[in-house]
């Protein structure tokens, strides 16, 4: 059968000027020149997608700060490796972070920076001869932190050990500064995932007991999250799983944790952070955000936007 081209004459049209549209000229980016302030830069961003989400996240953080609600800063080791510890310490000193949570690898990089001012070995090269992860001082300190925590009922005692040490760069330690400021900092370990677990000083019972104590403390932090913000950067598996289990526990025990904001920053869209942090926990209320990009750019940008929002609150 011969097919003839379709006749378009019957198409129903409408006026562009009456149609609902998702983009207007008010949403467009605004040009700016050299030397512009951070506030002017943020205001010049288009009101679209991640740029708009960044503003809304900053507003959520500022609102939680103003209302004295919890702001939980959770992250993977990469956040430390790309040099963001001083920025997070500054937030702690300003009283803008109420709790921190991380995985075992973060202890490695935090401790090495505190001890020697260096971290992050060449894994591919060191793996060839089996020397990867064999730094003596790192293994001894972190495994001692588990044992000390077990003895004194502290969870992981890394912050205490670094704070009381004579390490040259201990002021750059997130764990030491959190300990000094009295901010809860929990560590969530998976056995066999961290280099210190291959050292002869590793004690599985101590590691398990310290990390389980920290999980219970993290559950207390999550039980108080109503109206607050749970921020996650750079942990695709461990922290999302731990957070989901903590959230179901506290809801099961009768704590009201329904309306809060969750945020995930990472290089790509992973299943667990999107599902276990951004989506499922906020189905009863609140809102979840995800922004993809490099931590060393995104996190300073977010912090700057957050501080600008706080400045606006203070002057309004």
Q: Which option is the CATH number for 57-315: 2.60.120.10, 3.40.50.2300, 3.40.50.720, 3.40.910.10? A: 3.40.910.10
Write out the chain's pLDDT in tens, 316 residues: 899 999 999 999 999 999 999 999 999 999 999 999 999 999 999 999 999 999 999 999 999 999 999 999 999 999 999 999 999 999 999 999 999 999 999 999 999 999 999 999 999 999 999 999 999 999 999 999 999 999 988 899 999 999 999 999 999 999 999 999 999 999 999 999 999 999 999 999 999 999 999 999 999 999 999 999 999 999 999 999 999 999 999 999 999 999 999 999 999 999 999 999 999 999 999 999 999 999 999 999 999 999 999 998 787 6
4 exposure class (CB count in 10 Å sphere: 0-12, 13-18, 19+): exposed
Could you tell me the CA-to-CA distances from 92 to 71, 100, 181 in Å, in that order? 11, 10, 8
Q: What pLDDT score was predicted for residue 314? A: 80
pTM of the model: 0.95
Q: Which residues pair with 231 in a beta bridge?
A: 73, 263
Nearest to 214 by CA among 59, 106, 66: 106
Residues in the chain: 316
Per the CB < 8 A criterion, the answer to whether 64 and 96 are in contact is no
* Cα–Cα distance, 108 to 135 (Å, whole number): 10
Extents of the domains making up the chain:
57-315
Q: In what order do the strands lie in the sheet with 287-292?
A: 185-188, 99-103, 71-75, 229-233, 261-266, 287-292
Nearest to 102 by CA among 164, 196, 190, 228: 190
**Residue 191 φ then ψ, to 5°:** -60, 130
């Amino acid at each position: 059968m011969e097919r003839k081209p379709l006749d378009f004459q019957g198409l129903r049209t409408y006026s562009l000027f009456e149609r609902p549209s998702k983009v207007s000229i008010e949403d467009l980016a605004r040009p700016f020149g050299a030397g512009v302030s951070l506030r002017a830069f943020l205001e010049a961003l288009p009101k679209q997608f991640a740029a708009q989400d960044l503003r809304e996240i900053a507003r959520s953080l500022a609102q939680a700060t103003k209302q004295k609600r919890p702001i939980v800063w959770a992250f993977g080791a990469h956040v430390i490796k790309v040099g963001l510890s001083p920025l997070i310490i500054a937030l702690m000193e300003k009283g803008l972070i109420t709790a921190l949570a991380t995985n075992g690898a973060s202890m490695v990089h935090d401790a090495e920076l505190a001890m020697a001012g260096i971290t992050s070995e060449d894994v591919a090269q060191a793996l060839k001869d089996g020397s990867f992860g064999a730094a003596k001082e790192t293994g001894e300190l972190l495994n001692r932190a588990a044992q000390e925590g077990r003895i004194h009922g502290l969870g992981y005692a890394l912050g205490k050990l670094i704070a009381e040490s004579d390490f040259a760069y201990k002021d750059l330690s997130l764990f030491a500064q959190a300990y000094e400021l009295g901010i809860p900092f929990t560590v969530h370990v998976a056995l066999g995932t961290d280099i210190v677990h291959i050292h002869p000083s590793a004690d599985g019972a101590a590691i398990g007991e310290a990390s389980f104590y920290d999980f219970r403390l993290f559950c207390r932090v999550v039980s108080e999250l109503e109206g607050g913000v749970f921020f996650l950067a750079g942990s695709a598996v461990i922290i999302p799983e731990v957070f989901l289990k903590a959230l179901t526990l506290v809801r099961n025990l009768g704590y009201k944790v329904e309306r809060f904001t969750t945020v995930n920053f990472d290089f790509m869209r992973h299943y667990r952070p999107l599902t276990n942090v951004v989506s499922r926990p906020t189905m009863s209320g609140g809102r979840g955000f995800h922004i993809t990009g490099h931590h060393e750019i995104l996190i300073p940008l977010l912090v700057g936007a957050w501080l600008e929002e706080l400045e606006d609150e203070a002057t309004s």
